[in-house]
Chains A and B, each alone.
Chain A
Amino acid sequence: MVHGREIAYNSKVEGNIILANLDASINWMRTHSMWPMPMGLACCAIELMASGGARFDIARFGAEVMRFSPRQSDVLIVAGTVTYKMALATKRIYEQMPDPKWVIAMGACASSGGMYRSYAVLQGIDRILPVDVYISGCPPRPEALLEGLMRLQQKIMTEKSTTRQLVPEPALV
């Protein structure tokens, strides 16, 4: 059913027993109950809101519990332009999130500075945070956000959850 390690239901074993690899089941649980922290900074946030609306319905992927408190969330969706004035606040919010945590850079601005090559805009949040998934587009359509979410789920499934390697933080460049 899932990439990498299996969770198997064996009907020959009596009762409601599922045999599974510990990593796989923890990962499976994590992938389907991601609580995003929506960092809605600019225009991309509107598409982030749209994906929460009825038409795209992010709840289908178990990620509708948007938490505005970083302490309660595990995916940071950075949607919008990160300016230098905002950069350290974003980093602080990331640091407040409990482990394990992942980061999605939504849109061209968050990924690379996008069309704002100027004195005020941080050229991609990967200069201050470790990013797991980049989503292209200006703005990405809600479908693209959902696709990014599923990519993240795939990525989580390959993780060794018991011995998660903490990603080294990028040095300020």
Chain B
Amino acid sequence: MANTTTTFEQPDALLRTQQALDAAPDVPGERLTLNMGPSHPSTHGVLRIVLELDGEVVTKAIPDIGYLHRGDEKIAENMTYNQFVPYTDRLDYLAPLANNVAYACAVEKLMGWDLPPRGQAIRVLCCELARISAHLLGFGAMAMDCGAMSVFLYTFTEREKLYNLFESLTGARFTTSYTRIGGMTRDLPPGWLDEVAAFIKQYKPQIEETDKLLTRNKIFIERSRDVGVITRADAISYGITGPNLRGSGVDYDVRKVRPYLGYENYDFDIPVGSVGDCYDRYLVRLEELRQSVRIIEQVLAKFPEGPIHVADTKNYLPKKQKVLTKMEELIHQFILVTEGLKAPPGEVYFGAENPKGELGFYIRSRGGGVPYRLKIRAPSFVNLSILDKLLPGCMMADVVAILGSIDFVMGECDR
């Protein structure tokens, strides 16, 4: 695959704006500044965009983020690796399990650990279920922004079923905190795999239902086709990842390029778009649902037995039963909880394919149980950075459709 990049050119957005202005029949020629957000139904949280309008045409857009900046990176510097797991739930709160897994894998890379097969299979299952749940909300909300309320209600019904699964697995609906560095809090509850299989079975026809509701829906197509086109070169230069990048025709998927958790053993396709407009991004997400279902079926078909966590007894929490009966385990538990695991000095970057794109963790360690610096490479943050180039030249009403199709989460964007 040949990749091309161009230098960053702002004028072409200006050109596009000029063309749109020329085409519009009734522009007053006066600029109006419109403040959208931070509390606006289609900004999915707290994004603020300062739009400059001429008539209905957007001539300039200045995104303003940070309304949900909670200081996660500073907090991480002040706690042990395991203590930070709950904070990763709240990054992309539509797919918390996937964040947990990405974070745990990053620290495990620092430790030089590899998970046994069963642990990996559980994590893959978690990631893909999380992907389904996130995409369901993603295009449910996008359809709602385009004026189709009912899709949202359908997808939410499916998400509730997923929440039931997550709840029996972790005890919480979406603040799961399921992984620990080197393993998981607990093994699967009895019968859980059957429940997943049953869910997948009833869910497959549901995908087609959504497909029927939206894909050939005239109104939806009119709202999204050829709107908000991200060119291939722009997408690469802006570092966009996830369905948004693949919608622009680049087949980059971390699961394929830098496989982790044994993703190379599963058979799945990467859908790509051809134009890079909102409609393509929607189609890519829809197809990813089918691919996730495919992966889950393969995982279920040969679910390995065995341990779910690494064998490093000094750095992984011992079994509770042993803690209460054996001296040595008690000491280990005490040290692990109060001091954290013994990480070597060094630095790693680990990127995982999350529903929104590549979620990366850069960890700088000086040894000991506390990271010296932990940087979160949030896909939504990077994906949103293209807004000031993408929005100028659009109609005001297209802005909500574009925002819906980019499918961002502010918790992750602002961290």
Contact = CB atoms under 8 A, between A and B. Distances in A.
- In the complex they form, do A and B come into direct contact, defined as C-beta atoms under 8 angstroms apart? yes
Interface of A: 39-43, 45-47, 49-50, 53-55, 68, 80-81, 83, 85-86, 89-90, 93, 115-116, 118-121, 138-139, 141
A89 B67 CA distance: 10
Interface string B120-164: 000000000000000001000000000000000100110110010
A139 B174 CA distance: 8
Given A43-B174, A50-B156, A53-B157, A85 B69 contact: yes
B160 A50 contact: yes
Interface string B37-57: 011110001100000000000
A41 to B, nearest CB: 6
A89 B39 contact: yes
A54 B67 contact: no
A86 B160 contact: no
Given A50-B160, A55-B157, A116-B70, A42 B90 contact: yes
Contact of B70 (A40, A53, A68, A83): A83
B77 to A, nearest CB: 11
Contacts of B40: 68
Contact of B71 (A47, A54, A86, A116): A116
B239 interface: no
Given A83-B69, A116-B70, A42 B175 contact: no
A43 B177 CA distance: 14
A118 to B, nearest CB: 3
A145 B86 CA distance: 22
B288 to A, nearest CB: 20
Contacts of A42: 45, 68, 90, 93, 410-411
A118 B39 contact: no
Interface of B: 38-41, 45-46, 66-71, 74-75, 86-87, 89-90, 93-94, 137, 153, 156-157, 159-160, 163, 173-175, 410-411
B138 to A, nearest CB: 12
B46 A121 contact: no
A43 B69 contact: no
Contacts of A68: 39-41
B218 to A, nearest CB: 26
B157 A39 contact: no
B65 to A, nearest CB: 10
Ordered nearest first, which 4 A-B pairs have the shortest CB separation? A118-B71, A43-B93, A53-B156, A120-B71
Contacts of B67: 41, 83, 85-86, 89
Given A42-B411, A46-B93, A120 B156 contact: no
A49 B93 CA distance: 13
Most buried by B among A45, A55, A120, A138: A120
A45 B70 contact: no
A171 to B, nearest CB: 24
Contact of A47 (B87, B157, B173): B173
Contacts of A55: 157, 160
Contacts of A46: 93-94, 137, 174
A156 to B, nearest CB: 24
Contacts of A83: 66-70
A113 B68 CA distance: 13
Most buried by B among A43, A81, A138: A43
B162 to A, nearest CB: 11
Contacts of B173: 47, 50, 139, 141
Contacts of A54: 153, 156-157, 160
A68 B46 CA distance: 13
Given A53-B156, A55-B160, A93 B93 contact: no
Given A46-B93, A89-B39, A139 B175 contact: yes
Nearest to A139: B175
A42 B92 CA distance: 10
Contacts of B90: 42-43
Given A46-B174, A89-B39, A118-B75, A53 B153 contact: yes
